[in-house]
Amino acid sequence: MNRRRLYSAVFSMGVQHSMEYRFHFFLSLLGAAFPILVQYFIWTAVYRNSGQTALFSYSYGQIILYTILAGLVSKLIATQFEHQIADDIKNGGLNKYLIKPVSYFSYRLISFFGQKAIYYGITALLLAGIIWFASAGDLLELQAVRLILFAITLWGALLLNFLIAYCICASAFYLHEISYFFLITSLLINILSGGMFPLEIFGETVVKGLQYTPFPYTIYFPVNVLSGKTQAAAMYQGLLIQCGWILLFLWLSRLTWRIAMKKYSAVGG
């Protein structure tokens, strides 16, 4: 079997895995709505009691739009494979990838894209509906350039988030119990990425500091490209920075795993 057929099979397995437990699949999609609803009620109360039309440079409509878009994007780029990798390291599941001409990194990446394919299609439909309603309510100005750049940056965010998580998974070679570490890091990354609320809440100084990290380019940047908060020049600059982070973490992921593999004892499997 050549590599193209091999990875096509891996991608297909990823799609099948995402649909294996259909009830869990649709329940997870439904679960994405609850954090959005909670934030909707919180922001509604905040704006109603503040007596101001804009907070943190967002009007009420803009903050609700950001909350919905960020919730969908954060759900789309979520990795959720960390425990599988940790089990492979702990139980010797890596063995079969070491003795066969299959790259573990490539296997995980293609499988990840396969698992996200269905989510991507459903999210695209939801986003189309949200964009239509937002444009009808004058919250969003439809621009072909922004839509195209949003689609590109969304794929970039998906890849960048995978690479960040893959680097973090290398810690499983050193830590015996890793579950809480994954939970804490995923929550922290989601906050710093703007997945829970706009980064402007932290203040201008923190926002400027976060621009030198990869996290805003996974959620905050793609959402603001679509919503129009990011200016035209900043969109292209941000896209280049996102590509730079992808290349850097592509190198870091290989480096961290090459170093960490020296700790691998190949027990089990």
Q: What is the pLDDT of residues 155-188, one digit of tens each?
A: 999 999 999 999 998 888 887 778 788 889 999 9
pLDDT score for 248: 97
Q: How many angstroms separate the CA atoms of 118 and 194, rounded? A: 24
Task: With beta carbons less than 8 A apart as the criterion, state whether 44 and 130 touch.
Answer: no
pLDDT score for 22: 59
pLDDT score for 266: 63
pLDDT score for 23: 62
Residue reference for tokens 């099979």: 9
- Range in 12-21, 217-226, 235-244 with the lowest mean pLDDT: 12-21
Q: Where are the domains of the chain?
A: 3-263
Q: How many angstroms separate the CA atoms of 15 and 10, rounded? A: 9
Give the mean pLDDT of 191-209: 91
User: 66 pLDDT exceeds 60?
Assistant: yes
User: 122 pLDDT exceeds 70?
Assistant: yes
pLDDT tier at 223, thresholds 50, 70, 90: very high
> For residues 38 and 142, which has the higher predicted lDDT (pLDDT)?
38
Give the mean pLDDT of 12-25: 66
pLDDT score for 268: 54
pLDDT score for 224: 92
> Is 22 buried (19+), middle (13-18) or exposed (0-12) by CB count in 10 A?
exposed
Length of the chain: 269
- pLDDT tens track for 95-110: 877 777 778 888 888 8
User: 267 pLDDT exceeds 70?
Assistant: no
Percent of the chain whose pLDDT exceeds 70 = 90
| Confidence (pTM) | 0.89
Considering 31-40, 106-115, 186-195, the range whose residues carry the highest mean pLDDT is 186-195
Give the mean pLDDT of 112-117: 82
Query: 99-102: which pairs have CB atoms within 8 A and are 24 or more residues apart?
Result: 102/6
Query: 168-171: which pairs have CB atoms within 8 A and are 24 or more residues apart?
Result: 168/82, 169/82, 169/85, 169/86, 169/89, 170/253, 170/256, 170/257, 170/259, 170/260, 171/260
pLDDT score for 87: 87
Task: With beta carbons less than 8 A apart as the criterion, state whether 17 and 8 touch.
Answer: no
Q: How many angstroms separate the CA atoms of 115 and 17, rounded? A: 7
User: From the centroid of its chain, how far is CA 55?
Assistant: 26
User: 234 pLDDT exceeds 80?
Assistant: yes
CA angle 12, 15, 19 (to 5 degrees): 135
